[in-house]
């Protein structure tokens, strides 16, 4: 037979007061430090924490609390200011990259990320120039001839994968051969920033190329 001990309100108050004393905190701090030096204990605690955090009810609860926290403009601004103060060194960027490897994003999550980075919300927004129409002369035949002229290689990195024909001066109506150059997807994305530098560099590449200008 198990006898349940009932604590009075006065007893509970006394217990709370005792654990808030500096002596008790110092004692518990020493116990925790000793335990944390035990590799087996740390491993066991880490596994227990992972199991607890991966429970569906815990994941849902944390997701709701985080959404509520980040929907607050004050909290978003505070987090933004903190991130700006962090020095984004190569080591820091590599650590962030490693921590994100293996993460699986749901389709809904991917769509939400896309919504937060499209249109005027994107830091590369230039007033909607990407929606301007191309010249009627910018045909499939012309693009294929530019790629053939460039030997089906990206003129920046040399890869043969996913080639696009890029307008060097960013004018979609200028289809002069010297204004067109073959770039892979990755390099094509890079040219959306520091446009003046890329314009000079790519014109120089075309002008000083041994390839015949079509």
- Whether the pLDDT of residue 125 is over 70: the answer is no
User: What's residue 46's pLDDT?
Assistant: 85
Handedness of CA 108, 112, 113, 114 (dihedral sign): positive
Give the residue with greater pLDDT, 142 vs 132.
142
User: What's residue 213's pLDDT?
Assistant: 54
| Helix ranges restricted to H, the chain | 9-19, 22-36, 39-53, 56-70, 73-85, 90-100, 107-116, 140-149, 185-190, 195-207
| pLDDT mean over 77-104 | 81
| pLDDT mean over 112-127 | 68
- Whether the pLDDT of residue 3 is over 60: the answer is no
CA distances (Å), origin 127, targets 82, 120, 121: 29, 8, 11
Burial class (CB in 10 A: 0-12, 13-18, 19+), 16: exposed
> 182 has which bridge partners?
165
Q: What mean pLDDT, rounded, does the chain reach?
A: 82
* Cβ–Cβ < 8 Å for 138, 172: yes
- Whether the pLDDT of residue 26 is over 80: the answer is yes
- Whether the pLDDT of residue 182 is over 90: the answer is yes
| pLDDT mean over 62-79 | 85
Tell me the C-alpha distance between 18 and 187, whole Å. Answer: 64
User: What's residue 119's pLDDT?
Assistant: 67
Give the residue with greater pLDDT, 208 vs 138.
138
* Cβ–Cβ < 8 Å for 203, 180: no
| pLDDT mean over 174-180 | 90
**pLDDT per residue as tens digits for the range 126-139:** 666 666 788 888 99
User: What's residue 128's pLDDT?
Assistant: 63
Q: With bands split at pLDDT 50, 70 and 90, how would you rate the model's confidence at 84?
A: confident
């Amino acid at each position: 037979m198990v006898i349940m001990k009932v604590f009075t309100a006065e007893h509970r108050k006394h217990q709370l007061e005792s654990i808030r004393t500096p002596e008790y905190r110092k004692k518990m701090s020493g116990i925790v430090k000793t335990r944390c030096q035990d590799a087996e204990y740390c491993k066991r605690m880490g596994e227990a924490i992972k199991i607890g955090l991966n429970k569906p009810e815990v994941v849902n609860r944390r997701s709701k609390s985080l959404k509520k926290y980040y929907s607050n403009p004050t909290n978003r601004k505070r987090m933004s200011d903190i991130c700006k103060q962090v020095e984004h060194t190569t080591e820091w960027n590599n650590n962030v990259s490693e921590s994100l490897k293996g993460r699986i994003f749901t389709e809904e999550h991917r769509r939400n990320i896309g919504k937060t980075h499209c249109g005027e919300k994107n830091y590369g927004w230039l007033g909607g120039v990407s929606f301007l129409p191309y010249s009627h002369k910018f045909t499939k035949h012309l693009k294929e001839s530019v790629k053939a002229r460039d030997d089906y290689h990206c003129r920046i990195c040399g890869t043969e994968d996913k080639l696009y024909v890029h307008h060097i001066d960013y004018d979609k109506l200028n289809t002069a051969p010297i204004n067109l150059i073959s770039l892979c997807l990755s390099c094509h994305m890079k040219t959306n920033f520091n446009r003046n530098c890329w314009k000079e560099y790519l014109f120089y590449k075309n002008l000083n190329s041994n390839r015949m200008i079509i």
